[in-house]
Structure 1
Amino acid sequence: MIGRMQAVWVEGSNTLEPASVARRIPRAAAGKPPGPEPGGKVHGGGLALLVFTLCLCNGWAPQCFAQGQSLRLELEHRAGERPLQFNSFSLTNTSGTPLTVSRLDYLLSGLSLRRTDGTWLESRDWYAYVSPAAGRTSATIRSMPAEKFEAVRFHVGVAPAINAGDPNLHPADHDLHPQINGLHWGWSGGYVFLAAEGHWLAADRSTNAYSFHVANDENLMTVELPVQFDTAKDTTITLAMDMGSILDGTTRVDFAAQSSTHSRQGDALAGQLAKNIERAFSVVGVASDLFHPPAASPKTASLPAGTRSFDLRVAQRLPRPPLPEDNPLTKEGVELGRRLFFEKRLSRDDSLACAGCHQQPASFTDPGRPISLGVDGRTGTRNSMPLHNLVWADSFFWDGRVKRLREQVLLPIEDPLEMDQSLEQTMAKLRADAEYPGLFQRAFGSAGIDAARLGLALEQFLITLISQDSRFDRAIRGELQFTEQEKRGFELFVTENDPARGLFGADCFHCHGGSLFTNHRFANNGLDGEFQDTGRFQVTGDDADRGKFKTPSLRNVELTAPYMHDGRFETLEAVVAHYDHGVRPSPTLDPNLAKHLPGGLKLKDADRAALVAFLKTLTDRDFGQGAVNPP
């Protein structure tokens, strides 16, 4: 589901005024990353089938509203008459240019319905994040009156008040939450309204990349379509959104001349794409349909008997944390998890604890080691990842093979290259200990030690490891000022590299934007042209995922050397040099890097040094010190 929220329907004319639910946030003085991003069109390209399922009762009465009748929006994306295939050169524009689509994400808001008398029934506080590649293909809106209508209208994008507000105030599961949609640049402010990225083939068959991000208030799009329907009965309205119309509409995109936009002031391409997007929608048909209401969300579990709630303090400049509803944080559970984190008896020979490869002074990484060593000095397969701000992660390990933290923590115990001990033997050791039976009983309210409880306790402890007090954070709070070099580094970090428009930034914000400095997605960042470690492909089996690895947060990056999944770079200077001129082409290379080939960023030496200086402002010197003293 892409949206499931209560919308307020109001009487209106032709004006849409979505209510503001967020406060205005200050802009960073050292530079502002580009705002929201656009989408793209392809001839025969993506056709998005939007399905509104209106589940209504017979009459506009209070009891009707109380029953929670719903309007449902579903989207099925297509390429012409065919389903849209991501990462496939199956699309061709009118100039004969073969294209792929690797990303198509956008925001809808302000749904309104025109009655037969010409007046409008307008929604307020209705938003939908659409991402077909992520399977976000439906939204639900409640409380529809029974009437006859002759048109629908909605925005692509969000109103200025929402665009300027603080996205971190939205609930963790809200479509406008930055961790949900990945279309907000956090401290820089502003949503990307539509983002389309992919590759295109030049006449010489060389592979190039495009990145179209339509954003900023002047590019807020409005779509109005005539369609007759009666909401006295269940109704499905199917709309089509044609990707081809976006790239090949009223204005055709010349990829050789303009393969990138981030909607900066005066960028004509962004405005042209916005007009194309408005014309990309059409009505397919109307039919009656039954809507099955979604299952109720699980309620947060009660605290175990005798436990005390753990107050997790998270600054408002970070997103609201999506705490696990079935594993509420308690002081007893967190303390048990902390002790288990330092417990060497979780390994076969009692020599290695979790803390052995995740050391607090290095932001819980293994400092100086490209690959960590397990029991008997066995060499693992990948670099040890940092353990901060995990509450916002939706997958774990470099390849994202696990979705829940409680499951992730158990795998190293049984891995023969790490702790090499069965969970059964681990439980036997803990049960035989004089203290652990009592600690588990106090944490969970009843006796018993098993693998599930082990995972839950470690999950609770790891969730509390929040890094949020770096020099960057203090500068945002106005407590200190950046040096001139740090300011320049920040400016480079949040500025795209687009020489045709006179922009010579480092383009870091695409993957590392926002207050968490990661988008939690997977990308091929050009380390190799051929892959010894295929990364995400080992999990999905999808060729489009070859060479892709999880994007790590840049918080505390100064402390976490060596870098990359294989620890190949020893210094931040080497990392910056890679992105400047060392990126290697391959079929799955991220479009935001591929667009810089073959010459690279060509940053000056002083700018590379400034970028490193800014990255060091993300270091939280006190992170984890108060939480991890071994028992």
Structure 2
Amino acid sequence: MKATVKRLAVIALGLALGACGSSSDSDDSSAFSTQEALGESLFNDTSLSFNRTQACSSCHDSAKAFTDSNLDDEGNTVAVSLGDDGVSTGDRNAPTATYATLTPEFQNGTRTRFNSQQSDYSGWIGGQFHDGRASTLADQAGGPFLNEIEMGMPNKASVIERILENDQYVEAFERLFGSDVFDDTDTAYTALTEAIAAFESTDEFMPFDSKYDRSLLDEDDPDYYDYGVISKVASGRTLFFSQQFTNCATCHQLKRQGSANETFTGYEYHNIGVPVNSAVRTANGLGTDYVDTGLQTNNEAVTDASEMGKFKVPTLRNVAITAPYMHNGVFQDLATVVKFYDHWMTGSSHTINPETGIEWADPEVTDTISLTELQDGALITDTRVEQLVCFMMTLTDARYESLISDEDWENCEAE
């Protein structure tokens, strides 16, 4: 049955239910004048989940760089998000939605590496989610609604029925996407995802106003940020872009050094030997035999065994305030992540996971680890770990800088 046949009945029965962020009590029939405004309301609308408890923003909180801000019993940010049913959990950490719109579509190609001793990259690039299975941001936006352990809606039609409960949504969809948008469920669902993607493509998600960005301005600009000649942040910046001392830029630099709008990821795919998050596996019930094969499960084009266990290199934008880390949230501290990278180097002093007090756990997938990239550069001392963390702090958007303590900033701004 076409959505238009159902529409009047659904509206009559469901108007009282309303929608989060888009109250049907208003007399304003043009509440959403643009796709971006409509998308913002949809992004925050809990009525679009099966039990009406979860929205996109439930796992992508604008107050925490659009990552999950919920805490576990120990007061740490949850490694994986809780589903709409209040019980289900997934196996991967919710990535930041900031700067996601700049991710290239999923493709097999090459890219130039800067400040790296390694050859240019050739392989899979881009796409949304940790495994790139959604080619575009709009494709990604349509996924969580229909995921049984996320928002739990049974099909696209059921999502559109929830849209039709709200007269302001109906008016906006028909005005922005055409009067016949509800004649076909797939067309309406595509409009839904495009509106959310439009919102996620606004400046709110990619302001490029961190201390690092401000350091690229003219010194006479009132927003200019000076790293200082002698500071941990200045030393960390030098280390990060060094070909001699670190391998950071190999995978986390997209453009020539000093370019504006650097996203600090080349969108490559690598297996860096991340261990299983045992606590997550216990909670989600997948068991000890389950293996997250990452990129290999993306689609039929990437089933080769050489792609097993690879995940997309994430942006370092806002990394200092978006713990926990890695695709499964296995590490809580950014310094731990740097030490984990260093432990792959021969002679590394970082043989113990500082969060567990024991040796690093074995990689989940062992055969495809990117040792060429991981073993490039020099050993990293504890002093250099601190310097690199201080530099990464300066990649925090201005609106989130207050989430880092004054004490931490002051510690970093002096050597």
Question: Under a length normalisation based on structure 1, what TM-score does the superposition of the two structures give?
Answer: 0.43
Task: Tell me, yes or no, if the aligned pair for 1:526 and 1:589 is still in contact at 8 Å.
Answer: yes
State the AA in 1 paired with 2:319: V
Q: Which moved more, 1:477-486 or 1:333-342?
A: 477-486
State the AA in 1 paired with 2:172: L
CA offset digits 1:146-203 (Å, max 9, x no partner): xxxxxxxxxxxxxxxxxxxxxxxxxxxxxxxxxxxxxxxxxxxxxxxxxxxxxxxxxx
SS state at 2:338 partner: helix
State the AA in 2 paired with 1:375: D
Structure 1: runs of 5 or more not aligned: 1-329, 497-502, 624-631
Change (3 A) 1:619 1:594: closer
Residue 255 of structure 1 aligns with which residue?
none
CA distance in 2, matches of 1:521, 1:451: 30
Identify the match of residue 193 of structure 2 among 446, 451, 455: 455
Change (3 A) 1:591 1:532: same
CA offset digits 1:546-604 (Å, max 9, x no partner): 110011100110121000110001011111110111577833222443435xxx94311
| Aligned 1:309-320 pairs, distance under 5 A | none
Task: Tell me, yes or no, if the aligned pair for 2:341 and 2:374 is still in contact at 8 Å.
Answer: no
CA offset digits 1:457-491 (Å, max 9, x no partner): 11111111213000000011141211411111011
Structure 1 position 397 matched with structure 2 position 129:
yes
| Aligned 1:75-474 pairs, distance under 5 A | 332-367=34-69, 368-377=77-86, 378-393=88-103, 394=105, 395-421=127-153, 422-446=155-179, 448-449=181-182, 450-464=188-202, 465-474=205-214
Q: Which has the larger radius of gyration?
A: 1
State the AA in 1 paired with 2:272: N
Task: Tell me, yes or no, if the aligned pair for 2:247 and 2:374 is still in contact at 8 Å.
Answer: no
Change (3 A) 1:350 1:547: same
CA distance in 1, matches of 2:160, 2:135: 23
Q: Which moved more, 1:390-399 or 1:581-590?
A: 581-590
CA offset digits 1:266-307 (Å, max 9, x no partner): xxxxxxxxxxxxxxxxxxxxxxxxxxxxxxxxxxxxxxxxxx
Q: Quote how far apart the aligned CAs of 1:452 are.
A: 1.3
CA distance in 1, matches of 2:130, 2:55: 20
State the AA in 2 paired with 1:532: V
Identify the match of residue 615 of structure 1 among 376, 386, 392: 392
Q: Quote how far apart the aligned CAs of 1:331 are.
A: 5.8
Q: Quote how far apart the aligned CAs of 1:336 are.
A: 0.6
SS state at 1:437 partner: helix
Residue 306 of structure 2 aligns with which residue?
544
Task: Tell me, yes or no, if the aligned pair for 1:361 and 1:559 is still in contact at 8 Å.
Answer: no
Structure 1 position 575 matched with structure 2 position 351:
no
CA distance in 2, matches of 1:489, 1:470: 16
Q: Which moved more, 1:564-573 or 1:440-449?
A: 440-449
SS state at 2:198 partner: helix
Identity %: 33
Identify the match of residue 508 of structure 1 among 248, 254, 270: 248
Q: Quote how far apart the aligned CAs of 1:374 are.
A: 0.6
Residue 373 of structure 2 aligns with which residue?
593
Task: Tell me, yes or no, if the aligned pair for 2:237 and 2:388 is still in contact at 8 Å.
Answer: yes
Change (3 A) 1:557 1:348: same
| Aligned 1:559-574 pairs, distance under 5 A | 559-574=321-336
Change (3 A) 1:508 1:405: same
Task: Tell me, yes or no, if the aligned pair for 1:470 and 1:621 is still in contact at 8 Å.
Answer: yes
State the AA in 2 paired with 1:593: E
SS state at 1:463 partner: coil
CA distance in 2, matches of 1:414, 1:399: 18
Q: Aligned-pair RMSD on alpha carbons?
A: 2.3
CA offset digits 1:310-345 (Å, max 9, x no partner): xxxxxxxxxxxxxxxxxxxx9611111111000111
CA distance in 2, matches of 1:531, 1:471: 42
Task: Tell me, yes or no, if the aligned pair for 1:531 and 1:547 is still in contact at 8 Å.
Answer: no
CA distance in 1, matches of 2:132, 2:147: 16
Aligned residues: 285
Q: Quote how far apart the aligned CAs of 1:382 are.
A: 0.6
SS state at 1:435 partner: helix
Structure 2: runs of 5 or more not aligned: 1-31, 70-76, 106-126, 183-187, 255-261, 277-288, 346-361, 401-415
Structure 1 position 524 matched with structure 2 position 271:
yes
State the AA in 2 paired with 1:475: S
Q: Quote how far apart the aligned CAs of 1:528 are.
A: 4.1
Residue 123 of structure 2 aligns with which residue?
none
Residue 535 of structure 1 aligns with which residue?
294
Q: Which moved more, 1:467-476 or 1:520-529?
A: 520-529
Q: Quote how far apart the aligned CAs of 1:420 are.
A: 0.4
Task: Tell me, yes or no, if the aligned pair for 1:387 and 1:462 is still in contact at 8 Å.
Answer: yes
Task: Tell me, yes or no, if the aligned pair for 2:272 and 2:374 is still in contact at 8 Å.
Answer: no
CA offset digits 1:390-433 (Å, max 9, x no partner): 22212111111111221211111011100000221111111122
Q: Quote how far apart the aligned CAs of 1:541 are.
A: 1.1
